[in-house]
Structure 1
Amino acid sequence: MEPVQDTYRPPLEYVKGVPLIKYFAEALGPLESFQAWPDDVLISTYPKSGTTWVSEILDLIYQGGDLQKCQRAPIYVRVPFLEFKMPGCPTGFELLEDTPAPRLLKTHLPLALLPQTLLDQKVKVVYVARNAKDVAVSFYHFYRMAKVHPDPGTWDSFLEDFMAGEVSYGSWYQHVQEWWELRHTHPVLYLFYEDMKENPKREIQKILEFVGRSLPEETVEDIVQHTSFQEMKNNAMTNYRTLPSDLLDHSISAFMRKGITGDWKSTFTVAQNERFEAYYAEKMAGCNLHFRSEL
């Protein structure tokens, strides 16, 4: 492991105008030689939108619902994270090279930074979008515990950075809209976190159909149970406690914190909410994407 002062809280680096975690920006060069396979499936989200949840669901689907097989390795090994790079850990690209087909991959990259091979190969994409207010709160706590991010400062200043797209991966507004538009030219299953909370079985059935798989109803019920928030929070293969604690400090905040819809109401002030709503209306004007910020 590198010395602490060299590793933690580096400033974001901009790639094609997109701010990224320093190490992730460094991973993009090697990714240019990545070759997608037509039977790959890409899980894409803006951070803190249910990525690990959908990754576990898809791995269970691919393993025929066999819970034991899904204990074979941590989720970031079973579903390699394309742009992942952290000191002392194998990169996502390195993990991918050891992953047999059919592969599940994960990314948070906006389209401007996505390896072109994924689009050229028409790789199926499962995209998950979550309402912006809950994402902002969850991302703030993630910044606090994941020390590869810059220091988030106060909640008030972080919210301003989030609204301006000056956080890792840039603008939430642009991310959710451009992947929404991609549906017109590319095989994208666009899911909403809130729908998954409301009726996980229904959304899992959509995923099964999209990836061309079928499972007995009782197996689907088992997947619903195994991928509940509490189960995953207690599962060492999904809760990210296997990464070094000096990179992800769970004593500050758990990687899997609450997993609910509407938690923003415990954090936003009335004034912040009014300002956010006005800015949101401006940034999402003309877009037919609709989110629920409470259930």
Structure 2
Amino acid sequence: MDRVPVQPKSYPTNLLQKDWTKRAIYERCGQAFVDKVHDMEVKDDDVWIVTLPKCGTTWMQELLWLVMNDFDFEAARNEHLEVRTPFLEFDFLIHKDLNRALAPVEALKSPRLIKSHMPLPLLPQQLWSKKPKLIYVYRNPKDYIVSRYYHVRSIGFGMSTTLEQFVLETLDEDADVPSEDFEHVAEFYELRNEPWIFYTSFERMKTNLRQVIEDICKFLNKTITEQQMEQMLKHLSFEEMKKNPKLNHHWEFEQIRAKHQTEHENHNFVRRGKAGGYKDELSSDIIAKMDERIQQNLDYYKLSLQKLLLLDENTPL
């Protein structure tokens, strides 16, 4: 589904002071859904996970759900992640029924863990006033763009497009700077020191997952024993996640494929789980074009990719 321009009813002016009239916003779900989300009830004990697609969302979702549910690994293995922690936009994207669009989230028992890929100004207005816990995860765009390619082919889109064509279309050299993706992350990065927001990166999770788990426990006011930590590190390892059917979005894929009835490839959702994997799949010319486009966006915000990924400035990317 193509994205269309949308306009939120109000902007988070109490969080960020900026000229919101210049903020171009597009959303696949359309204006009516955007309005419904804007007005939805947010509970004080909600926990939200917000990311761009393919940035470590599933990894962090499972981590959060386990921390919030007393490390109940048996329950996690017996129910799909998407059922335990709904993707806010998914039901409407599949069924196009505004009346039931938020039903999966509304049916959750508190405390709710809710996932969304929507940008800050399209999230519920009550988020800005109630300020429940929110976790944001970013990832090197060179990796998440490659990962998106295999994801869309798994659900039956872009089958005639090569990886390099997909990368170039995603970069879109004629598009505005900053890009939508960079506006998405830059707004949350600016809020990273807010006490209700936990900002991290896929790369930081790869570098020191134990520390991220400890930090999340502290953020959510939870305790963890060493035995539970060892269980977490194993359960959240790439090898375990790759073979766990409850974490590879089979539940979502079945609904999408049934709806569209299109040819598709079978790429595991947890595919490579690697930082810097783009280097194995893209030519040096394409990587150079990506670097140039990314740098244009970084220059706009006076940021570096290392800063956005919470890495040392000398870390090669």
TM-score, scaled relative to structure 1: 0.85
Cα shift readout 1:206-247 (whole Å, capped 9, x = no counterpart) = 110111111111101101111112212222221111235362
1:14 corresponds, among 5, 10, 14, to 5
User: After superposition, where does 1:18-167 map in structure 2 within 5 Å?
Assistant: 18-21=25-28, 23=29, 27-84=33-90, 85-87=92-94, 93-147=102-156, 153-164=161-172
Q: Which amino acid aligns with 2:239?
A: Q
For the residue of structure 2 that corresponds to 1:100, the secondary structure is coil
- Distance change in 2, residues 1:117/1:281 (3 Å): same
After TM superposition, the runs of 4+ consecutive aligned structure 1 residues lying more than 6 A away are 89-92, 292-295
In the alignment of these two chains, the number of paired residues is 281
Mark the runs of 5 or more structure 1 residues left unpaired by the alignment. Answer: 1-9
CA distance in 2, matches of 1:290, 1:33: 30
Deviates more, 1:254-263 or 1:42-51: 254-263
> Residue 259 of structure 1 corresponds to which residue in structure 2?
273
d(CA) in 2 for partners of 1:217, 1:208: 13
Change (3 A) 1:75 1:26: farther
1:191-206, aligned counterparts within 5 Å? 191-206=200-215
Structure 1 pair 38/152, CA: closer, same or farther in 2 (3 Å)?
farther
Q: Distance in 2 between matches of 1:244 and 1:88?
A: 14
Instruction: Give the distance between the partners of 1:152 and 1:51, measured in 2 at CA.
Output: 27
In structure 2, what is the Cα distance between the partners aligned to 1:89 and 1:71? 30
How far apart are 1:27 and its partner, in Å? 3.7
Question: Are the structure 2 counterparts of residues 201 and 230 from structure 1 closer, same or farther at C-alpha, using a change threshold of 3 Å?
Answer: same
Cα deviation code 1:178-222 (max 9, x no counterpart): 110123556211111111112211111011011111111110110
| TM-score, reference length from structure 2 | 0.79
Looking at structure 1, the residues matched to 105 and 221 of structure 2 have their Cα atoms a distance apart, in angstroms, of 22
Q: Distance in 2 between matches of 1:219 and 1:172?
A: 35
Cα RMSD, aligned residues only: 2.7
